[in-house]
């Protein structure tokens, strides 16, 4: 909730959302599993293909060797088909018979020795040798073109799967996570709209009793306990303020009579302390009642009456601006707000510092500015300075919170900042009140013009 009373609906950035982290984790784990599984499958597949290629090569070599050493050896024939890789090598290592594709090696020394894999005419060939009796040695080769193509196809498919699968898994995980966490997101939006100054309504539960249902149930139980605790705190605070109110009233009256009789400075100081305690109890009472239970008693009073009240409550305050007009307000509540601001300013400025209250008026707004010569507002507090029990000047921390609440109840605002020339500057703005002459009877006693209202005697302060 904003300090001004507005509600904020917070949206989580996609990179910080729970469903994105779940989808990303799910995708990474799935990618690792797919990678390991695919590598295993591809490795096994390539191993089987390689084994089949080797078996085929050995089978061809054994068949050709048997053909040369058998009864029907087929002497004079070419060893293998036109595309076969075969050579006959004599005892001196000279090739004396080849398949047509290897005719260039005829009558030349055998070039490959005992190598099991060679390159022939820019083609990778895997080869084996077999003895063929008196004929010497049979060399048989088998091109690896098909095996290499199958190996490259398998690796390309694996690479494509590693690129496409994570994207599909991430999108699927995002969609599934969004569906699964929709109830939690709806509950978070409802919880974000809960006004802590009002009754803490519980969150609706999803139909499915899953982990989200269990979490929301726990949150509802927590909300009920918070509301019960707040009610007990308000009740206790109200009782404490009530018990303090009566003795303080008697004390104030006694000190006022003593001040009138003796004019003793010590008695005057004690009277001011009693006023301080009285306003503190009023702040506590307003905090205990809350904004909804606080009713304003509207009056149109002279601005000078308000100035006189503040001057009496916080002596040494300098007033500037135009105080000759009138103000439509609850006099006691507005006095309380300005008194809290000036008392805080006096506390910050010290006895030798200055506190200035300036009133400016436009047709739309009445603006009170309270400036002091103190060290200014702590920058680390920011808007927290208006929260209850947050203080940067050693006070109770209630004054600014209550003053902003009073300003809001009047339809106005209260802001605070550091003045460019030093010290703190608080601005309390209230809507202006334009009075019109709605009656045609000048003798109507109930028809009071602005001059009559400004000449009214000051209203007594509310205890």
Containing structural domain, residue 221: 196-294
Alpha carbon 248 to its chain centroid, in Å, reads 47
In a domain, 425, yes or no: yes
Question: What is the structure's pLDDT at 322?
Answer: 92
DSSP letters spanning 387-406: STT--SSSS-S-HHHHHHHH
Asked if residue 339 and residue 430 are part of one domain, the reply reads yes
Can you name the residues that pair with 425 across neighbouring β-strands?
Answer: 371, 417
Residue with tokens 């002459």: 437
Can you name the residues that pair with 426 across neighbouring β-strands?
Answer: 370, 416
Task: Find out whether 369 and 433 touch, Cβ atoms under 8 Å.
Answer: no
Alpha carbon 390 to its chain centroid, in Å, reads 24
Question: What is the structure's pLDDT at 306?
Answer: 93
Task: Name the phi and psi angles at 196, rounded to 5.
Answer: -65, -15
Which of 278, 294, 310 finishes a domain?
294
Asked if residue 202 and residue 277 are part of one domain, the reply reads yes
**CB-based contacts of 317: which residues, under 8 Å, 6+ apart?**
310, 311, 342, 346, 355, 356, 357
In a domain, 100, yes or no: no
* Residue among 341, 345, 346 nearest 414 (CA): 341
In a domain, 186, yes or no: no
In a domain, 305, yes or no: yes
CA angle, residues 316, 320, 324, in degrees to nearest 5? 115
Which of 277, 294, 311 finishes a domain?
294
Asked if residue 450 and residue 307 are part of one domain, the reply reads yes
Question: What is the structure's pLDDT at 155?
Answer: 83
Asked if residue 410 and residue 348 are part of one domain, the reply reads yes
Question: What is the structure's pLDDT at 292?
Answer: 44
Q: Which two tokens stand for residue 350?
A: 């010290």
pLDDT tens figures, 310-327: 998 888 899 999 999 999
Asked if residue 347 and residue 396 are part of one domain, the reply reads yes
Question: What is the structure's pLDDT at 366?
Answer: 94
In a domain, 135, yes or no: no
Residue count (the chain): 463
Q: Which two tokens stand for residue 229?
A: 């605790």
Task: Find out whether 219 and 187 touch, Cβ atoms under 8 Å.
Answer: yes
Task: Find out whether 347 and 394 touch, Cβ atoms under 8 Å.
Answer: yes
Task: Name the phi and psi angles at 38, rounded to 5.
Answer: -65, -40
Q: Which two tokens stand for residue 191?
A: 């919880």
In a domain, 368, yes or no: yes
Domain count, the chain: 2
Asked if residue 400 and residue 364 are part of one domain, the reply reads yes
Q: How far apart are CA 367 and CA 412, in angstroms?
A: 9
Question: What is the structure's pLDDT at 427?
Answer: 96
In a domain, 165, yes or no: no
Q: How far apart are CA 427 and CA 410, in angstroms?
A: 14
CATH code, 289: 1.10.287.130
CATH code, 304: 3.30.565.10
Asked if residue 352 and residue 247 are part of one domain, the reply reads no
Task: Name the phi and psi angles at 416, rounded to 5.
Answer: -135, 145
Asked if residue 319 and residue 284 are part of one domain, the reply reads no
Asked if residue 260 and residue 316 are part of one domain, the reply reads no
Task: Name the phi and psi angles at 96, rounded to 5.
Answer: -120, 0
Which of 274, 294, 314 finishes a domain?
294
Residue with tokens 């000047």: 393
User: Strand 95-98 vs strand 117-120: parallel, antiparallel, or unpaired?
Assistant: unpaired
Question: What is the structure's pLDDT at 271?
Answer: 76
Q: Which two tokens stand for residue 91?
A: 């005892």
Edge-to-edge order in the sheet of strand 355-361: 318-321, 355-361, 365-372, 424-431, 413-418
Q: How far apart are CA 346 and CA 312, in angstroms?
A: 13
Asked if residue 430 and residue 310 are part of one domain, the reply reads yes
Q: Rg for the chain (alpha carbons), in Å?
A: 48
Positions of the chain with pLDDT lower than 50, given as ranges:
1-10, 71, 73-82, 291-292, 435-463
Asked if residue 370 and residue 225 are part of one domain, the reply reads no
DSSP letters spanning 333-390: HHHHHHHHHHHHHHHHH-TTS-EEEEEEE-SSEEEEEEEESSS---TTTGGGGGSTT-
Task: Find out whether 261 and 254 touch, Cβ atoms under 8 Å.
Answer: no
In a domain, 339, yes or no: yes
Q: What is the dihedral of CA 80, 85, 90, 91, to 10 degrees?
A: -130
* pTM reported for the whole predicted model: 0.46
* Residue among 356, 296, 360, 357 nearest 329 (CA): 296
Q: How far apart are CA 145 and CA 125, in angstroms?
A: 8
Q: How far apart are CA 202 and CA 220, in angstroms?
A: 5
Residue with tokens 């005419």: 121
Helix (H) or strand (E) holding 66: helix 18-69
Asked if residue 282 and residue 216 are part of one domain, the reply reads yes
């Amino acid at each position: 909730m904003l300090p001004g009373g507005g509600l904020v609906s917070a949206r989580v950035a996609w990179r910080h959302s729970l469903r994105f982290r779940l989808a990303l984790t799910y995708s990474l784990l799935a990618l690792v599993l797919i990678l390991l599984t695919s590598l295993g499958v591809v490795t096994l597949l390539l191993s089987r293909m390689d084994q089949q290629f080797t078996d085929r090569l050995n089978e061809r070599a054994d068949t050709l060797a048997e053909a040369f050493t058998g009864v029907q050896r087929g002497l004079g024939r070419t060893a293998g088909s036109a595309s076969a890789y075969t050579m006959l090598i004599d005892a001196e290592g000279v090739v004396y018979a080849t398949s047509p594709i290897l005719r260039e090696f005829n009558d030349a020394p055998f070039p490959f020795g005992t190598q099991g894999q060679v390159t022939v005419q820019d083609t990778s060939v895997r080869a084996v040798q077999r003895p063929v009796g008196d004929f010497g040695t049979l060399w048989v080769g088998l091109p690896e073109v098909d095996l290499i193509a199958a190996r490259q196809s398998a690796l390309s498919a694996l690479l494509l799967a590693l690129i496409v699968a994570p994207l599909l898994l991430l999108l699927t995980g995002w969609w599934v996570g969004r569906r699964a966490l929709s109830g939690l997101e709806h509950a978070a939006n409802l919880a974000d709209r809960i006004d802590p100054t009002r009754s803490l309504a519980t969150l609706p539960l999803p139909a499915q009793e899953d982990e989200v249902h269990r979490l929301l149930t726990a949150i509802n139980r927590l909300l009920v306990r918070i509301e019960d605790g707040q009610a007990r705190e308000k009740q206790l605070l109200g009782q404490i303020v009530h018990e303090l109110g009566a003795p303080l009233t008697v004390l104030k009256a006694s000190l006022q009579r003593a001040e009138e009789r003796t004019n003793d400075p010590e008695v005057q100081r004690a009277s001011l302390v009693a006023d301080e305690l009285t306003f503190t109890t009023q702040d506590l009472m307003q905090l205990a009642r809350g904004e909804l239970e606080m009713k304003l008693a509207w009056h149109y009073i002279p601005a000078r009456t308000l100035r006189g009240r503040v001057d009496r409550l916080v002596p040494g305050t300098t007033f500037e601006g135009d105080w000759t007009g009138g103000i439509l307000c609850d006099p006691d509540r507005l006095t309380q707000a300005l008194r809290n601001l000036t008392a805080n300013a006096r506390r910050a400025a010290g006895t030798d510092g200055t506190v200035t209250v300036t009133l400016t008026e436009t047709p739309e707004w009445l603006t009170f500015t309270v400036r002091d010569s103190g060290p200014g507002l702590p920058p680390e507090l920011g808007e927290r300075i208006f929260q209850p029990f947050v203080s940067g000047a050693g006070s109770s921390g209630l004054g600014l919170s209550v003053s902003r609440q009073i300003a809001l109840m009047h339809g106005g605002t209260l802001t605070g900042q550091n003045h460019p020339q030093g010290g703190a500057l608080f601005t309390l703005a209230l809507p202006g009140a334009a009075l019109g002459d709605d009656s045609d009877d000048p003798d109507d006693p109930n028809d009071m013009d602005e001059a009559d209202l400004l000449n009214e005697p000051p209203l007594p302060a509310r205890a």
